[in-house]
Structure 1
Amino acid sequence: MKALFVTFCMMGMLAMSHASPSMTAESLTVKARYENQLKIQAADADGVVFQNRIGQIDNFAVIPTNDLPQIKGTGIPVDFTQILMKGYTYSHQAGLPKLPVKVELIELPQGAVPRIQVTRAEYKDINLSEAGYPAPLFPAQPPMSKSAKETPAFQYDAYIYAANAFVGNNGLLSGNDNQDLAQVEVLGEMRGTRLGRVTVAPFQYNPATNTLRVYTTLDFEVVFEGSDMGATYTKKARYYSPYFGSLEQDVVNPIAISSPKAEMYNRPIRYVIVADPMFKDSLQQFVEWKTKLGFDVLQAYTDQPEVGNSMTAIKDYLAGLYNNATEEDPAPTFVLLVGDIAQIPTQTYSFGSGWSSSEHVSDLFLCEYTGDRFPEVQYGRMSATSVEQLMPQIHKTMEMENIDPAKASFMDSTILIAGVDASHGESELNPTVDHLYNDYFYDTLDRHCFVYRYPESGNHAADIIQNINDGVSFVTYTAHGSSDSWADPYIGNGDVNNRFSNKGKYPFMVGNCCLTGKFEENSCFGETLLRKKDGGAVAYIGCSNSSYFGIDTYWAVGYTSILTPGVVLTYENTDFGANDALFHTHGEPFEDWAQTAYEFIHAGNMAVEEANQGYEEYYWQIYHVFGDPSFMPFSHAPERVEATYGNTLIVGESEYVVNTVPYARVVLSQGTTVLSVAVADENGQATLPVSNITEPGTATLAVVAQTFLPMMAEVDLVIPDDKYVVLSAQSLVDGSGETVREGAYGNTYSAGYTLRNVGVENVSSVQMTLTSQDEYLVVENGEFTYEGTLAPGQEAEVEHGFGLVVSPDVPSGHELHYKMDLVLDGNTEEVISKEYSFKVWAPDIIVANFQITDSASTTPNGVIDNGETVTGIVTLLNNGRAAASDIMLTVSSPDASYLSFPAEAIAVGSLNPAATTTVRFEYSAADGNVKYAIYTLNFATSTRGREMTDSVQSYIEPVVETFETGDFTFAPWDEASAWVIDQSRVHNGTYSAASAKISDNETSSLKITVDVPFDDVVGFYYSTSTELANTILGDFLHFNMDGTRMGRWAGENAEWKYVEFPITAGTHTLEWLYVKDASASVGEDRVWVDDIRLPIGTVPAQGVGNETADAMTATSSMMTVNKAAQGELTLTFRTAAAMEGDLYIVNAMGQRVKMLADGLHLNAGVETRTFGIEGLSSGLYICVFEAADGLHSVKFVVAR
């Protein structure tokens, strides 16, 4: 049967015309103790194992439609319901129920054919009407073009909504319930990295019964069949470029390549210029400048036979450079097209169909070589039909890349513009610019941002032009556009040509709008800004066709689950977008940075990929850089980068070291030849290979870093005029005879060296002494004397096994330092020294998760009870960068003598980096009277002499308020509470708590404030005998946590029901509130609660002696996490004596990522402190307090 498809006119995405979504601010627990999370359990050449869990639905929105005249009387529902899930996007088949889906990008090995294998699936059906949401789920809608002349039709598939069957991500399900739960698709390949997308769809919906099926447990594997890992490693190494480093962060299972990044960073960055021959002379100064900045510039002109002047010929030429590249002769990273379409022709694409069809040009065709939508190079166009049009673009680029700092103060000003659109101004445009201002452009004493918000922005075109003329560094506009203008506020080509007078003050400009990059026309807005002499922009980001509401927001700020008037978008409640990548002020790793103009586009388009709205290929086609794609935008006045370096380089040396800011690009060049290039590490050290330099002379040293102006200096290349020997090579060999570049804990390495005489005299002996002051390195056989004549220019390999013994206790990622001293012919007055270092890795085994299974008990509650034996399930994570083998696990408790654990250590096996394994063990509690006592479980692991310990906390016996005391004395209930002890309706025993007798419009409250030491649960049984008119009207029992309603219930229901909610560490106020409406009473007009499970810590422990005092001094329990959200980490410290130390955070790779406090002083007792953790991306972290008595640590998770 053909589906009946009803269409109605609708404004906006969620906010339809003047109707706005009504947020309930109420979560719905689906499965207690479950957190909403998608975890990677394992990833290797055979596939990726995923584990998805859903514990609650975060929120609901009720979307009214009955006030829209265009759809009244059509028979569609008066209201719709939308499910809101943080971190989820939505199914996008228009007209079908809009269901949350989780999207992750994965890396696929070469040759791999992926398929999904579901291994476990458990669901819970929820009747949404009974849960308080009788309206059907909102249907997915197509996005709205920013150039649409009319609003798109509201799409509602009446056939689907009448079906008494479950609907999944792709439509009606037939037979196999698991068919739609997870899907994988191959997307393509970018720069040697194959990309795939995994879509997890744990929600299904039956429209006829208004039933939501939630798969609370979903385990599945993406199986890779036919993986060729050799080809994978080879291709990734062959095409590696630091300007595509974000690919490692874009996927959840990056495949590491064997070559160290430092070595690959030392390759030249190839920059290809394809130009009309009339521009050849004009480009030479630009070529020389780019060479100084470290680019290996290759010039290609369309009159050369190998290049050609047709679109196909140019594409073939560039594809040949890419496909024939080697690690030594790398593929282009950047391509600059110089000329308009007549000079450098490009592809025209068609989009859409029928009345909505359109065409656009795109340079993606010239820069994509693997048959998909992903470019293999970063590209831009200096569009010009004459030298007169080209020269301003060259001059502006060079001027802004090397502006005099004394003239750069104007760069402390920026402009953000939310243009005019009545339907989307408040829901998308303003929230976008507000997010940018609040997170990146906020005013300081030195910086100012001009913010033009809807609707006032439409009246400020003249002010914006004046701001630009006064000088700004960055301008972004989001709203409507045309091929020659921003629409409202109107700023067009005429303004650029006649009113822009910003000589020497050229901003980087971004247009999240339609058509301003439609460069097949005579001079689009982007081209005009670039061609303008003594004015305009240094670079412009614009679209060659229409962009879309919603998707443009995701492009700029990252995906967010709802866009509605008044929404506040923040770094925490959005995913990663283009602006996050460009400004990266939240501690993002270097690989996530967008340093260049095109990387900015890349980050935005990858955000669109993860939003999964069906417009991904289109967005790769339409967004373009007008100008130099390698240009590094500024957002504030830059300073000249600083560096320390040697003014002289001895010809024949193997390395040249420069110390500067982290991740700077350091270059040695002569003329238009790059001699050497390197990228500084996280400590700012760049090591340039210089053994290829064989002639004396002068070289130009350049240090280039994002947000800085480049530093230029001259370095003399000299040949010594007397005896001089250098160490031209070092090799490190492990115990198996393999040459290594990085080491591992507990290993011994043999270091070999090559001597080279770079002086002008013979040397007959070289005394070599290897030493180290590193506490984690021991040197063996550290002295050797080379005997024999070493003539000028001659090399000699030293056959002596200098031993480097690495401690098993070395911190993972530690840089080992050692030094070789050379004494020539016994002349101890002139010692030649060379310092070396190499990084070593170690496993770091931590507890990723711990839970207790007591399902066989008569009273299963997830904790241990007196006289009970339970199964502990601990998930161990190797948080280091080295594999651990022969792991043994010992479980103990330092503060609970009433517990018994396995006497023997448990054999765990091996654990690769980032991998997890689950260990089950039984432990018991004595049959005594210990209750509500917190205890620590220590998990000690050992591997090859390396000892590691991590711990968790749990407790014995849950705190249950039964009211069997006949009063409210068991727990510290708020004395102002107006509930009573009752015997008329109980769950167990003799007593329960009942609401007071109240009248219409009154409330009765039972309240308690609890201090929760670690995450726990709150649960209770309830019964109601009240009015229930509908989901809105009636007399309801509310359960509130910290003023937020977690659930509500009403009706004539003598049956007792149990509900449970997670509660985080910290202080919380819990309230049971009976709320009566304005009229009517039903039944007994009361509500009851009984057998309330309160969080641990609510009442004092019973039956224990000094356990609490002992725990105060235990390393594992000194710190607890109260909060890790909204950019803050709140910790409670419990110390028996005053302490002082450093407080810092390490990430899941064992790298220190943030210093919280240097020399933090803690007083004896209990105190709570809050620290800023802005910039931490989502993931597992460890907060470490390093004091004189050792390391104290606690894990926490940042979720976005």
Structure 2
Amino acid sequence: MGRVRNVLAVGLMLAAGYSQSGAVVPDHPGRIRIAARSANASRWEYTAGTLQGKLRSAEGRTFLHLSFPGGFHTTGAGAPAFPVDSRLLILPEAEGVSVGIQSIRWEQISLPERNWDYPLWPTQPSLRKDLDPSTQPFVWDSTVIRQKAWIGDSLVSVSFLGHLRDQAVYRLEIKPVQWNPASRQLRLAREITFDITYPQADWAATADLRTRLASPLFTHPLPDMIDLRDAGAERDAYFNDRPHIVLLCPEDFYPAMEPWIAWKERQGYTVTTGIPGQNGLGSTPAELRSWITDLYNGGTADLPAPSFVVLVGDNGDLPSFNGTTGNHKSDLYYGEVTGDFLPDLYVGRLSGNSPEQIQAIVTKTMVYEMQTLADPSYQTEVTMIGGVDSYYGSSHANGQINYGVSLYFNQAHNILSHTYLYPGSGSAESAILATMNSGIGYINYTAHGSEYSWADPTVTLANVHDLTNSQKYFTAVANACLTAKFDVGECIGEAFLRQPDGGAIGYIGGSDNTYWDEDYYWAVGFGPIVGDGATYEQTGLGAYDGMFHDHGEGFATWCTVNGAILLRGNLAVASSGSAQENYYWEIYHLLGDPTLSTNLGAPTAQECSYPTVIQVGTTDFTVTGDPYALVSLHDSDHALVSGCLFADGERTFSLADETLVPGPLELVITAQNRLPVLDTIQVIAPDTPYLTAGEPLCDDSLAWHPDGQVDMDETLQLRFRIRNRGQVPSAPVSVHLESADSYVTLIPDTLAVAPLVPDSAVWTGPYSLEVSGSCPDGHDLRLNAVMIDTFGTTWTSTLLLTVHAPRLQLAGFQIQDANNGRLDINETVDLLLELTNDGSCEALACTTRLSTLDPYLALPVQEAMSDSVPVDSTVRPLFTIRALPTTPPGHLFRIQWQITGDHAYQDQGMIQIPAGLIIEDFESGDFSAFDWIFSGDADWQIDSVTVWEGRYSAVSGDIGDNQATSLLLDVSLPEPRPCRFAFKVSSEANYDGLEFYIDNTRYGPWQGDIDWQEMEVSVPAGDHTLKWRYVKDQGVTQGQDCAWVDFIVLPLSGASGFHCLPGDLNGDDQVSDLDVLRLTLILMHQGTPPSEEESFCGDVNYDSFLDVFDLLETCDRRNGP
């Protein structure tokens, strides 16, 4: 994503083609209107709200505090607190988003005339809950009052926040107030017309993201987000996705999770399980995140991108990430896969440290979800606690609880709230514990906390271990410090979750200290802090609003699962413009199942309708019930249908691709605040003949590879069974095969089948078919068996045959030389390839060839012969290569390998080998050698005094307290590689120092006086950002207050290779019309230029050029629908 530019250029013209939308966004706090839109721009008209002012005193001085109703303030501590009007936007995928002012109508305000003749109130830092307010200094930059010019920020700005799944989220900020201290005046931009332009909008990419990633169970939880993407289809169009869970579970805990997996699949979820350290899956957080990212980016119609990540075990069993905003652990990055702070998947951790604890958590979760509780009526009661704090108890704690009780947790919602407010809550420990034991469905505590307790009123680990709420489990939320710090022995949140047959089925809390303002926003929504309870209209949406969603909010704002509650609360903090926004994304955690839905009151029966009996051959299945209820219809092997009902509470699911057989199916319907439907649907035979074909058997005894399975380049005989599933005998039938699959050729033949009585079957065949030699391994041939009786009645059944073929992958290679194991300039070495057959059929009589167009590389030996390569075995051809003396240092050699075998088998790939190492030692005297990026409060500099080697090093930028300076480099790696660098630190011990990051995984920090030393880390495969960051805390400067980095051996310097199926330009392991289209566009010089992988894989005839002959060959290889 490119950097956002803010352009204050009057007269900037929008692109042609505006549509007059006239859309009005809700007034909050000012009025903003989208006046016109085009594909690449939008014009906005803004009218400021009523400017309010009140006098506040501090440090013996009076200040003027300006505000808009519902607005927030600029966040620079000590600077004037200007009111800001903000919106969150969803824009198309674009580079170069910019803002241009078209017109402004200013309004001058005399401060003396309004009796506002005082300095503007300075912004104060948000207060952390573990700090004593009386000890915090008042922060004010008093020099501002001597200024003789207008003070204020850019009137309009747009900043990119990140991707929230399929949505590119930006923050629009309008700061219409400026102040001239010398003239004692304000000026207010009462009306502003401005343009937001995105000239490089990629609408195809935008549509692709929505198609692949939009999920009915992961939606944006703020109704005032302004979506400027192409409207296209309604979100209902994306409800075909079967919700997908990624389960990360250590091997020892997997048996305890099996009942949960089975229940989730019955509900309609797909569960993909990863066992760390097994089946090629790594075990570090970075490796596991990379695997989740691949699943997310590789979503298909059959296996949609996952919406949930469930982690099993505590931090010792399944390690979390180091936070980047403080010294804490964070599970955020298991669910954030796009390189920002906005989550893309819901994450929950079943934080037990033994199989017995995991089993207890699973049992409670399933009993609760299936509502097999002894007495579900306990869920009508809740406990709400505003804890003790002499400064903030009356305003923030009571304000949060009063909002929740007055709007939601009350008799109008059939809920009895046991409410404890400050100051009386301080003596209510016994009463609060009594409510937990007697039975409540939900509990919320806000005030102070620690790893092991709720502070005041006090609830300790011992109290939790003594809970006796058998069969009366609750969801707990603690807006307090540290109560979900799961990297200690047992935090109180874990104790609630682990308590056998008691305690909680879900716990939301912080893994670090929390803040008073932000915790209030998290629960209530951004708005004024009112001790007696704000109104719904005064605030944005918070967690409470999302849980109940009974003020007409759209489904996109509903929190129907516990993972959504966590997301909603953090988005409320984000919408406030808080400086702690990213911190909150990292520290708030859900301990428990993110797919679990908390009941708000006793769940009631669903009013659903659906057929309880269906016939074989039925193509549609219609269900009505609660809007957005999750429906699953399945047999003993798999789900036939799965998805959410639409907004009107109805949906017709297709059974056209399913072969129904007489017998029972299970229907499961689940919805928030409703009892689950668990019913049996009977499939019966029709009162007519009904023929199906199945059970294909292949005879390849005369083929080249007679193993009883379908292999590439084989001619074989096929038989299958015809069965009459109806209740009436059939007439004589003729049967033939059809297929649109280009990998198979059918020998035309029609065979007769005698009449079949009900529930009888007969074999038919043989039918001859030829499988293409270019058919990839694992491809499913789809054959349609067409059955026509003498009356012209036709039945069609699909037969699937999985093709087996060799697939030689480059498992690795070795450079064999005399010393260092790499290819140096003017060196001749042996290159040993390791090609492993990970296909399902052996390759016969293979020949491996090398070729290159590289002018700096010689290939004295270009061909090697091998015998057959059985499945799971490796062949190791040996070649000789030479780097010429004229090779530039760091040059990357590219070598193509092709392997061919009998029966038309061929595969290919590329090897990349650097000439020596690729090093950044800053000896250029600047940062020009690589595409370095600077970030933070100051840029890094070149230092010629303190160096590790040579003449120069890089030194961190000159920053002040509470600031940071970063040096970044983006890398793209086909496989894991090491990165090594030297560093030196001179800073305040234990507080200021150097950190190194791979994306959001932190190494260090290194603090104090540290002389030069080297650090080496492994960088996973994929696209990553390397970051060296020097950061300071709020005070004290020691040493030289900086860090140095030198002699970076970049991971780019590792050799690599990749595999390519000839003709497969898009890397999906098949040759299809998409590959033909891409190659056609490349040859017509349309669209983006071909990547190196595309150029290589598209060169089907191995002549080192892309031309029409490659296109013709690709057309022959494609597998059409």
TM bracket, shorter-chain basis: 0.5 to 0.7
**Does structure 2 retain, via aligned residues, the 8 Å contact 1:412–1:472?**
yes
**Does structure 1 retain, via aligned residues, the 8 Å contact 2:351–2:591?**
yes
Counterpart residue identity of residue 668, structure 2: A
Q: Kindly indicate whether residue 53 of structure 2 is the aligned counterpart of residue 60 of structure 1.
A: yes
Match of 2:279 among 305, 324, 339: 305
Q: Distance in 2 between matches of 1:637 and 1:237?
A: 37
SS in structure 2 at match of 1:63: strand
Aligned position for 2:529: 563
Match of 1:649 among 603, 607, 614: 614
Aligned position for 2:656: 691
Aligned position for 1:284: 258
**Does structure 1 retain, via aligned residues, the 8 Å contact 2:30–2:85?**
no
**Does structure 1 retain, via aligned residues, the 8 Å contact 2:630–2:671?**
yes
After superposition, the CA RMSD in angstroms is 2.9
Q: Distance in 1 between matches of 2:394 and 2:253?
A: 47
Q: Kindly indicate whether residue 590 of structure 2 is the aligned counterpart of residue 590 of structure 1.
A: no
Indicate how the Cα distance of structure 1 residues 416 and 254 shifts in structure 2: closer, same or farther if over 3 A, else same.
farther
- Which moved further from structure 2: 91-100 or 445-454? 445-454
Counterpart residue identity of residue 609, structure 2: T
- Encode CA deviations 1:105-136: one digit per residue, 9 max, x unaligned: 11121233210011111111101221122222
Tell me the CA shift for residue 251 of structure 1. 2.3
Compute the TM-score of the two structures, normalised by the length of structure 2.
0.58
Match of 2:334 among 326, 346, 366: 366
Q: Distance in 2 between matches of 1:266 and 1:568?
A: 41
Match of 2:594 among 621, 629, 645: 629
Q: In the comparison of the two structures, how many residue pairs are matched?
A: 683
Tell me the CA shift for residue 295 of structure 1. 0.7
Counterpart residue identity of residue 40, structure 1: I
Q: Distance in 1 between matches of 2:647 and 2:690?
A: 33
**Does structure 1 retain, via aligned residues, the 8 Å contact 2:310–2:349?**
yes
**Does structure 2 retain, via aligned residues, the 8 Å contact 1:294–1:665?**
yes
- Encode CA deviations 1:237-282: one digit per residue, 9 max, x unaligned: 1011112223684621252564553342122111111000001111
Q: Distance in 2 between matches of 1:100 and 1:761?
A: 81
Aligned position for 2:795: none
Aligned position for 1:701: 667
**Mind listing any 5+ residue stretches in structure 1 that lack a counterpart?**
1-32, 66-70, 73-77, 170-179, 352-357, 727-756, 765-788, 794-823, 827-1200
Q: Distance in 1 between matches of 2:514 and 2:621?
A: 48
Aligned position for 1:10: none
Q: Where does 1:673-822 land on structure 2 (aligned, <5 Å)?
A: 673-696=638-661, 697-723=663-689
Q: Kindly indicate whether residue 184 of structure 2 is the aligned counterpart of residue 191 of structure 1.
A: no
- Encode CA deviations 1:1020-1069: one digit per residue, 9 max, x unaligned: xxxxxxxxxxxxxxxxxxxxxxxxxxxxxxxxxxxxxxxxxxxxxxxxxx
Aligned position for 1:335: 309
**Does structure 1 retain, via aligned residues, the 8 Å contact 2:50–2:69?**
no
- Encode CA deviations 1:793-830: one digit per residue, 9 max, x unaligned: 9xxxxxxxxxxxxxxxxxxxxxxxxxxxxxx999xxxx
Q: Distance in 2 between matches of 1:299 and 1:219?
A: 52
Aligned position for 2:391: 423
Q: Distance in 2 between matches of 1:444 and 1:626?
A: 30
SS in structure 2 at match of 1:676: strand
Indicate how the Cα distance of structure 1 residues 379 and 453 shifts in structure 2: closer, same or farther if over 3 A, else same.
same
Aligned position for 1:152: 136
Q: Distance in 2 between matches of 1:209 and 1:758?
A: 92
Match of 2:197 among 223, 227, 234: 223
Q: Distance in 2 between matches of 1:434 and 1:247?
A: 23
Q: Distance in 1 between matches of 2:204 and 2:72?
A: 35
Q: Where does 1:923-934 land on structure 2 (aligned, <5 Å)?
A: none
Tell me the CA shift for residue 761 of structure 1. 6.5
Aligned position for 2:484: 517
Indicate how the Cα distance of structure 1 residues 716 and 158 shifts in structure 2: closer, same or farther if over 3 A, else same.
same
Q: Kindly indicate whether residue 524 of structure 2 is the aligned counterpart of residue 531 of structure 1.
A: no
SS in structure 2 at match of 1:255: coil
Q: Kindly indicate whether residue 122 of structure 2 is the aligned counterpart of residue 139 of structure 1.
A: yes
Q: Distance in 1 between matches of 2:73 and 2:492?
A: 34
**Does structure 2 retain, via aligned residues, the 8 Å contact 1:508–1:634?**
no
Tell me the CA shift for residue 627 of structure 1. 0.4
Match of 2:242 among 268, 271, 277: 268
Q: Distance in 1 between matches of 2:361 and 2:476?
A: 14
Q: Distance in 1 between matches of 2:281 and 2:268?
A: 24
Q: Distance in 1 between matches of 2:532 and 2:638?
A: 53
SS in structure 2 at match of 1:620: helix
Aligned position for 2:45: 51
- Encode CA deviations 1:941-960: one digit per residue, 9 max, x unaligned: xxxxxxxxxxxxxxxxxxxx
**Does structure 2 retain, via aligned residues, the 8 Å contact 1:653–1:690?**
yes
**Does structure 1 retain, via aligned residues, the 8 Å contact 2:84–2:176?**
yes
Aligned position for 2:514: 547
Counterpart residue identity of residue 159, structure 1: T
SS in structure 1 at match of 2:487: coil
**Mind listing any 5+ residue stretches in structure 2 that lack a counterpart?**
1-26, 693-723, 733-752, 759-788, 792-1121
Tell me the CA shift for residue 373 of structure 1. 0.6
Aligned position for 1:378: 346
Q: Distance in 1 between matches of 2:576 and 2:440?
A: 32
**Does structure 2 retain, via aligned residues, the 8 Å contact 1:315–1:366?**
yes
- Encode CA deviations 1:664-697: one digit per residue, 9 max, x unaligned: 1111123463221132223221222222321413
Aligned position for 1:112: 95
- Encode CA deviations 1:447-469: one digit per residue, 9 max, x unaligned: 31011001111110111010010
Compute the TM-score of the two structures, normalised by the length of structure 1.
0.55
**Does structure 2 retain, via aligned residues, the 8 Å contact 1:182–1:198?**
yes
Q: Kindly indicate whether residue 400 of structure 2 is the aligned counterpart of residue 432 of structure 1.
A: yes
Q: Distance in 1 between matches of 2:533 and 2:575?
A: 21
- Encode CA deviations 1:431-452: one digit per residue, 9 max, x unaligned: 1110100100123595310110
Counterpart residue identity of residue 89, structure 2: I
SS in structure 1 at match of 2:140: strand
**Does structure 1 retain, via aligned residues, the 8 Å contact 2:308–2:347?**
yes
Counterpart residue identity of residue 500, structure 2: K
Q: Distance in 2 between matches of 1:118 and 1:51?
A: 10
Indicate how the Cα distance of structure 1 residues 514 and 224 shifts in structure 2: closer, same or farther if over 3 A, else same.
same
Aligned position for 1:393: 361
Match of 1:214 among 183, 188, 195: 188
Match of 1:639 among 604, 612, 625: 604
Indicate how the Cα distance of structure 1 residues 603 and 55 shifts in structure 2: closer, same or farther if over 3 A, else same.
closer
SS in structure 2 at match of 1:106: strand
SS in structure 2 at match of 1:143: coil
Q: Distance in 1 between matches of 2:690 and 2:269?
A: 33
**Does structure 1 retain, via aligned residues, the 8 Å contact 2:640–2:658?**
yes
SS in structure 2 at match of 1:307: coil
Aligned position for 2:288: 314
Q: Where does 1:10-29 land on structure 2 (aligned, <5 Å)?
A: none
- Encode CA deviations 1:954-1005: one digit per residue, 9 max, x unaligned: xxxxxxxxxxxxxxxxxxxxxxxxxxxxxxxxxxxxxxxxxxxxxxxxxxxx
SS in structure 1 at match of 2:98: strand
**Does structure 1 retain, via aligned residues, the 8 Å contact 2:149–2:182?**
yes
Identity of aligned residues (%): 31
Counterpart residue identity of residue 33, structure 2: K
SS in structure 2 at match of 1:373: coil
Tell me the CA shift for residue 348 of structure 1. 1.0
Q: Distance in 2 between matches of 1:253 and 1:763?
A: 59
**Does structure 2 retain, via aligned residues, the 8 Å contact 1:337–1:382?**
yes
**Does structure 2 retain, via aligned residues, the 8 Å contact 1:35–1:53?**
no
- Encode CA deviations 1:904-936: one digit per residue, 9 max, x unaligned: xxxxxxxxxxxxxxxxxxxxxxxxxxxxxxxxx
Q: Kindly indicate whether residue 160 of structure 2 is the aligned counterpart of residue 164 of structure 1.
A: no
Q: Distance in 1 between matches of 2:610 and 2:534?
A: 44
Counterpart residue identity of residue 349, structure 1: G
**Does structure 1 retain, via aligned residues, the 8 Å contact 2:334–2:347?**
no
Tell me the CA shift for residue 290 of structure 1. 1.0
